[in-house]
Structure 1
Amino acid sequence: MIDDPDLLARADALVAAYTRAGRTLATAESCTGGLVAALLTAVPGSSAVVERGYVTYSNAAKAEAIGVDPNLIARHGAVSEPVARAMAEGARAASRADVAVAITGIAGPGGGSAEKPVGLVHLAVAGPHGTHHLARRYGDLGRAGIRRAAVADALSLLEGALAPAE
């Protein structure tokens, strides 16, 4: 994925924009397993922007590393809007970054249900303008396709977090 020219170009532009703005970012990733952080850190100069990345694949990691309340996970499930929001907010607080993006989803091929099918991904970004959520149902893109689509959407959220508040 870090050799995808389109994603690399977007990551390069994102690092440049965050550098110009004097902003830092953090990632909290579950189903993408650190792909957003890997993509961003493939860009020379990203050390000025990327504060840290958390791979919080398990529920315990979500709780221990970035402070997601286990009761929230029990009530809503790890793949949910409340957990994505808590992941982004927790990563931002734990890292002291200006902006944090979070991704939690079901990349498949198994693990889905009628309520939460394979391809369901919740993303959130927490920053100076609040926390914003994005839910996606990518459908049958395969595991790699779902993860790539989630990385692309995470970049979009990070791009949007630099825009002035409305």
Structure 2
Amino acid sequence: MGLFSFIKDAGAKVFGIGKTTEEEAAEDAAKAAELAHEKAEKLVNAVEALGFGVTDLNISVDGDTATVYGEAENQATREKVVLVVGNTEGIASVDDRMTTAVQEPEAQFHTVVSGDSLSKIAKKYYGNAMKYPVIFEANKPMLSDPDKIYPGQVLRIPSED
């Protein structure tokens, strides 16, 4: 016989079997929304497991952007929550919509590159490599060891005050 060509989407329109392109798109959108909701729940659980003081924590995910809501007890906590969420695979940006009970100066952020160490980063920001424990402490509990940082990771660099 041979190869016959057909209209790909006609089956659902003619016989009521299969799905139209619109139906498939709607199902794909529903699956994406469900996955985003699951990811948001996992992020909330991860933040809460670290014991940060955040009231009314809520996170939503849209594609590779996470939006974080709630009231952090202080600026350091707020920044740590942003880092936990942002240093998660699949998240490219964090929209910080949190508030803080106490106004404090914001820390700087540093993206780790190959060859970085906490002492090298301390030398860059503080002029003294021996101040690496300040950076380590500022990033606890996300960091468990001063030697375990990786390229692409974002760290808090608090002011020297």
TM-score by structure 2 length? 0.28
Give the helix-richer structure, 1 or 2.
Answer: 1
TM-score by structure 1 length? 0.27
